[in-house]
Structure 1
Amino acid sequence: MMKRIWPIFVATSLAMSGGANATKLITEAEAQLPPPKGAVATDRRGILRAPKVEFVPPGDAVHSPLRLQLKFESFGGAKIDPESVKMTFLRTPNVDLTARIKPFVQAAGIDMPDTELPPGEYMLRVDVKDSDGRIGTASFVLKIVP
């Protein structure tokens, strides 16, 4: 009996999503979580050899699905460790998005061609480590319009 219901569920969920290849980065339930409490860490100042994470903005008025791109840059001959990349949706409590982005992570960055998010404003943090153990972090806000 479960085998007959399951294929119908898969077909229904694919029809309701933006497409078969789209990746849901943040769910509706996660989008409803309260914002983070307290201060959110920002970029550090000074000369650092830690890896750099650069968010590539998709444009002014962003609709879902969108192309989510981040670029990584390492310094001093070190190499980016793709296995160390973590993405967090800053909410209360924080939501770990790492498993959802893993298929799209490379040493050069993250490239998610069809990323689904509900309309809203989302603060995300990306952490990356290089082969010398230095950690780079970037926080950015995605604003998705209906």
Structure 2
Amino acid sequence: MRHTKVFWLLFGLALVPARSQAGTILITEQEAKLPNGHFGAISRGITRGPSVELVEPAEMTHSPIHFQVRFQAFGGNKINLETLRVTYLKSPEIDLMPRLTRFTQRSGIDIPDAEIPPGEHSFRIEVSDSEGRTRSSVLVFKVAP
């Protein structure tokens, strides 16, 4: 009797479809379908604030992708991670910090296996250095279908 129950339990589990997700979810399908949000004003003047740079793959890739953003402070200052804000620019805007915290360090954000749906995605990244100089950048990239 016990072997029969175990057999049916294993047989039932075999019928449950496996999820094809292999990485860390950065953006869900539902979030990607939301209407695009407003970028807001981005200053283009000279600033001594940190630089924010998206490290893009050589070619448009499929998800999961290696999602990397580099930060660089100047003049001997350090990046202040307590000021880091990453927002997915949809309506309503989506705070990505709870998903990114374990992948952040002073040099940037590094997610080796970010799950992102196909399409064009826009993020606002804001970070300050140890002197309080802030940089706000909008980064846009595409993921192939």
TM-score category, normalised to shorter length: 0.7 to 0.9
Sequence identity of aligned pairs in percent? 44
- Provide structure 1 residue ranges, at least 5 long, that are not aligned to the other structure: 1-11
Alignment match, 2:42: 42
**Deviation, structure 1 residue 17:** 4.2
Paired AA for residue 45 in structure 1? G
TM-score by length of 1: 0.81
CA contact (8 A) 1:56 1:70 kept: yes
Alignment match, 1:66: 65
CA RMSD of aligned residues (A): 2.0
- Provide structure 2 residue ranges, at least 5 long, that are not aligned to the other structure: 1-15
Alignment of 1:16 with 2:15, yes or no, is no
Query: In terms of Rg, which structure is larger?
Result: 2
C-alpha separation in 2, matches of 1:100 and 1:41: 25
Q: How many residues align?
A: 131
Secondary structure in structure 2 of the residue aligned to 1:18: coil
**Deviation, structure 1 residue 83:** 2.6
Alignment of 1:145 with 2:144, yes or no, is yes
TM-score by length of 2: 0.82
Alignment of 1:126 with 2:125, yes or no, is yes
